[in-house]
């Protein structure tokens, strides 16, 4: 954990030092149907993205299920199938995700990548589903134009390889890191789908509840 703390500190310090505060505009016509964002991501927003992606409710909730499943299967076996092992697995997941997020935000600031997911609200469902998948591998630059998510290509495998420094021996291999990298991109697809469609489901449920409410009688 000491190694992780040092890595997290220096990566975060580097990301804030090299972050670019641009003012370029995205397409005002918003022809792709993406959420509008009138300026390039700022250093403060990069830091906010790191914190939200690592410690936000979506990621913390997912950790409950992932760590529970790993504890049930007793993977890694060094942690044991008990509450202490569950806690260690939960902490391990947070450290790996946090490391990858810091690397992605820090490196992306060099060439202006925006790591935030932008919804394709208002587009046909099929197009939105395609957008969920493509946004896993494509991001936007300071001008709002699409570009390959180079920093993410480095951050996901890099975070998993770095985590071998504090993982138990049964998982601290390059082969295991490769498998975790694939699962990391799969997790990003699932997260994108949640970000894309959950607001619609929540709004739909709210409207149904409001429509079903009856005025109070006096």
Beta bridge partners of 146: 140
The answer, yes or no, to whether residue 5 has pLDDT greater than 90, is no
Alpha-carbon separation of residue 199 from 3, 134, 186, 193 (angstroms): 38, 20, 21, 11
* Residue 154 · residue 103 · CB < 8 Å: yes
* 10 vs 8: CA distance, rounded Å: 6
DSSP 206: H
Q: Does the pLDDT value for residue 18 go beyond 70?
A: no
Instruction: Return the ∠ at Cα 209 (arms to 203 and 212), rounded to 5°.
Output: 140
Burial (CB < 10 A; 0-12, 13-18, 19+), residue 147, is: middle
| Residue-level pLDDT at 94 | 94
**Does the pLDDT value for residue 176 go beyond 90?**
yes
Q: How far apart are CA 3 and CA 163, in angstroms?
A: 9
Domain range annotation of the chain:
2-13+39-204
User: Model confidence over 106-146: pLDDT tens digits?
Assistant: 999 999 999 999 999 999 999 999 999 999 999 999 988 99
> 44-102, pLDDT tens digit by residue?
999 999 999 999 988 999 999 999 999 999 999 999 999 999 999 999 999 999 999 99
**pLDDT value at position 39?**
74
The residues with which 148 forms a beta bridge, in sequence order, are 138
């Amino acid at each position: 954990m000491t190694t992780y703390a040092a890595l997290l500190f220096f990566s975060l310090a580097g990301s804030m030092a090299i972050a670019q505060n641009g003012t370029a505009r995205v397409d005002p016509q918003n022809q792709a149907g993406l959420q509008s964002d009138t300026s390039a991501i700022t250093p403060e927003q990069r830091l906010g993205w790191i914190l939200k992606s690592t410690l936000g409710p979506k990621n913390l909730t997912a950790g409950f299920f992932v760590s529970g499943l790993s504890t049930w299967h007793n993977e890694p076996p060094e942690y044991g199938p008990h509450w202490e092992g569950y806690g260690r697995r939960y902490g391990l997941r947070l450290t790996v995700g946090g490391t990858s997020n810091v690397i992605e935000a820090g490196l992306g600031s060099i060439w202006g990548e925006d790591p935030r997911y932008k919804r394709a609200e208002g587009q046909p469902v099929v197009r939105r589903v395609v957008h969920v998948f493509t946004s896993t591998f494509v991001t936007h630059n300071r001008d709002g134009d699409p570009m390959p998510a180079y920093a993410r290509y480095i951050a996901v495998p890099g975070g998993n390889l770095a985590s071998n420094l504090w993982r138990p021996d049964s998982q601290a291999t390059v082969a295991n890191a490769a498998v975790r990298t694939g699962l990391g991109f799969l997790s990003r697809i699932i997260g994108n789908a949640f970000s894309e469609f959950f607001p619609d489901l929540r709004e739909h449920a709210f409207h149904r509840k409001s429509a079903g409410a009856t005025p109070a009688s006096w």
